Structure 1
Amino acid sequence: MPPQSPSPRAVSASMEQLRQEYAERFPGWTQQFITLFSGKAAAGQRPPWWITPPIVNWFLTLLQLLVAVLGSVYAVRLLGWFSLAVLPVTWLMTVNATRKLQITWSHHAVHKEVSGNRHVDKVVQVVSSAVALTSNYEDIFEDHVRKHHSRKVFTTITDPDSGYLIFLGFRPGTPVEELRGRLRRTPLSPRLHLPSLVYRVRTNFITATWTRRIASTVWVGLLVVLGVLMDGVEYTAAFLIPWFVLFHWAALFQTISEHPYLSFDGPPASRADYVARTWGRFCLEPLPERGAPAGRRLGQWARWLARMVFVQTPARFAVLASDLPAHDLHHVVPADHAWHLAFWHRQIHIDQAHESRMDQRELTLAEAIRQVLEGISHSPLATAEPQAGTA
């Protein structure tokens, strides 16, 4: 029988306390925005009335993508060297939109959770995945629904996400420092980008249905025409860098922080074991200490602001886009289909002492990555042969 899954280190209490501290030290009108940014709702908080319905938000995502691409084009065309200050913003907007098309709209449409109408949801999935050049309906259903969500497969070596990590060289038994080094090198490695590009071509034009192939052909044809008409620098800045390079980076860090892949030699042995293989990932930074001298407090606030802007903002909008901070709710309470309200529903379950105790598994993105790497390093799947230096 597979061993019970170890829980993450005891960091949940600090996350609960940290969010409470934000509730105490920031004005009441900011609290819903803190929740939307961090993914972590405050105790007792309820969803605001102004959260848009999913199908409306889908159209807003497509509009966001258009505005972000045009922003990159005109930054290069009109701003000269000043574009270097604008492009990181438009790139983040572009990656956020394309990632949402994949991990929000394609994902939840496959689960039939966008409009409530399976025909409409199928259209949403086809359009979203074609525009983002990501998995077609059949591929994502097979890999995600039938395999990843299956309790016989979840987080095991047969989970498609586990196979992806092994392919990238994150092999069970490899020392943690070597895994960290590999993670630092992988974003610049052709091993990440070329297979990802091949897969995106394959899922759009080979394994897809004829309907999807036509949609992909029309869309790629439009992108080719734009490439011919546009300046090479503009095209690279607007499409190639954010849609491929940065998109692949975001997907890598999302996968290697999502669940403790490859940490076990078998599937979950029980409901509790299954739940223990999920966690929430939130974008909050510790606040400056109260009562510190003014000079020290000023420096701490400056550091807090810098980390919120340059660390947590890319983490939130590129890696943990949309409802991903509360992704554990999707696994733990699958009957809750209101994923667009996941941050608040998750906290309601915590406030009501839900048996899953999601509050015991709350991490930052960096902590989640560390958990995954350490789990892989100490995995019972490791062979007797040393894994150091494997490709």
Structure 2
Amino acid sequence: MSDHRTDPRALMALRLPRAMQPVLTWLTGRPAPGERVRVRAPWTFLLEALAWTVLGQLVGAVGFATHGLISAALIALSLVLTTAGVSLFQIAVFHRCAHAQLFADRRHNRDVGRLVSALLLFKHFDRYQQEHMSHHSVRTLLTEGDEFNDFVLGFCRLEPGMPKRQLWRCVLTSLASPRFHTRFLVHRARMSWMSGDRLHDTVGITSWALGAAGCAAAGWLIPFFVLWVLPLTLLLQLVTVGRILIEHRFPDPSHSGDRDKLFQCRVTLGVFPGSEPPPHDAATLRGLVSWVTWWADMLTVQLLVRVVVLVADTPCHDFHHRRPSSPRWTEYAHARQDDLDAGCPGYPINYGETWGLIRAIDENLAALSSLPRDASAGR
């Protein structure tokens, strides 16, 4: 069991009212000690993804119909909402369809997965499913050809043994680079619309062409590019980089050759938005400033991270890799906590975690930096 004296989530439960706990559970991806489980049907994630996306488009349409600061604020909100929706489609719908967990019928999972991949420029579902199932094997994870390694070491061009500062520079340069994002988009289009599956490719290309043509005819071509194309391309790619960089931790060189459950535990940790709340001394000016600063961070940076980057069960990605077939994935926060409290039966060590997206990326880049220059992390 986790130590409540040092666990940020347990301290939130101790220092904040009970009424706030369900919101904090969603925001952090960790439940309060003893909090009741709220059961959720898998298909509701599809409805949630649709709701975020449709709401984003509606807010953006209102934004383009108004003027001034209100217009700018609504368009900015629209971009966040639509990016959140598309991220949910990627993680909670497309990914779960690959595990045949969104619907009871395997064919429904496949059909929805194929449609999502065609419309949202994701890799053809069948190929993604095959590669992702291989990624879940401890013999393949973090080896040459693994989807995580291919993206971080290949696509992002990060190299083992580079100084951490240089790795950070490479990441930030890529995020700001038009060339990187163009290369990323071309790769996505090729994997989605040039898959060799004629029906799949036709559905994707035709849908985008008709959407662009219809908006052009209605005089809404600019809103189409701003409200739809921008979140589906640049913004999704930005959050995808941030999310993939924390999905797995590069192993210590002394353990990188071990392909066992201990290796699996060490290379996948929980990553939770948030931080430890300040102690109860708000009566002093210093205490008040601490609480205002903490809440400002939680309701801006951490909320944005949760909404667009660490969406759905991403904070509990370690639970997903230890229990990939668990039917409790929809209640991921409580399922992971229950497993942690039980000592994670069947595994040699319990769950580990990091609080904060930036800290998690920094720790992973430090781990990559510690590897020998000639190493491929899982070789």
TM-score by length of 2: 0.90
- The letter for the 1-side match of 2:364 is V
Match runs of 1:132-281 below 5 Å? 132-146=120-134, 148-166=135-153, 167-228=155-216, 229-261=218-250, 264=253, 266=256, 268-281=258-271
Indicate the structure whose relative CO is greater, using CA pairs within 8 Å and at least 6 residues apart: 1
- Residue 81 (structure 1) aligns with: 69
> Which residue of the other structure, out of 309, 330, 354, is the alignment partner of 1:340?
330
1:127 aligns with 2:115: yes
CA contact 1:153–1:267 (8 Å) conserved in 2:
no
1:375 aligns with 2:367: yes
- The letter for the 2-side match of 1:155 is L
> Which residue of the other structure, out of 69, 80, 102, is the alignment partner of 2:57?
69
- The letter for the 1-side match of 2:259 is A
- Segment drifting more, 166-175 vs 225-234: 225-234
CA contact 1:281–1:325 (8 Å) conserved in 2:
yes
CA contact 1:101–1:129 (8 Å) conserved in 2:
no
1:95 aligns with 2:87: no
Aligned residues: percent identity? 23
- Segment drifting more, 115-124 vs 157-166: 157-166
Question: 1:325 offset after TM fit, Å?
Answer: 0.6
CA contact 1:257–1:369 (8 Å) conserved in 2:
yes
> Which residue of the other structure, out of 316, 332, 341, is the alignment partner of 1:326?
316
- The letter for the 1-side match of 2:42 is P
Question: 1:214 offset after TM fit, Å?
Answer: 3.0
Q: Report the Cα distance in structure 2 between the residues aligned to 1:14 and 1:131, rounded to whole angstroms.
A: 45
1:37 aligns with 2:24: no
Q: Report the Cα distance in structure 1 between the residues aligned to 2:278 and 2:341, rounded to whole angstroms.
A: 27
Query: Measured at CA, do residues 64 and 15 of structure 1 come closer, stay the same or move farther in structure 2, by a change above 3 Å?
Result: farther
Q: Report the Cα distance in structure 2 between the residues aligned to 1:177 and 1:254, rounded to whole angstroms.
A: 20
Q: Deviations over 1:108-167 (max 9, x none)?
A: 101100112101111221222223221221221232112x21222212343222122223
CA contact 1:260–1:375 (8 Å) conserved in 2:
yes
Q: Report the Cα distance in structure 2 between the residues aligned to 1:314 and 1:86, rounded to whole angstroms.
A: 16
- The letter for the 2-side match of 1:310 is T
Q: Report the Cα distance in structure 2 between the residues aligned to 1:192 and 1:143, rounded to whole angstroms.
A: 23
State the SS of the aligned residue for 1:213: helix
Superposition RMSD on alpha carbons, in Å?
2.3
Q: Report the Cα distance in structure 1 between the residues aligned to 2:64 and 2:288, rounded to whole angstroms.
A: 36
TM-score by length of 1: 0.87
CA contact 2:319–2:336 (8 Å) conserved in 1:
yes
Q: Report the Cα distance in structure 1 between the residues aligned to 2:62 and 2:96, rounded to whole angstroms.
A: 33
Question: 1:358 offset after TM fit, Å?
Answer: 4.2
Question: 1:62 offset after TM fit, Å?
Answer: 1.6
Question: 1:262 offset after TM fit, Å?
Answer: 7.5
Aligned length: 369
- Residue 272 (structure 2) aligns with: 282
- Structure 1 runs not aligned, ≥5 long: 1-11, 385-391
CA contact 2:242–2:309 (8 Å) conserved in 1:
yes
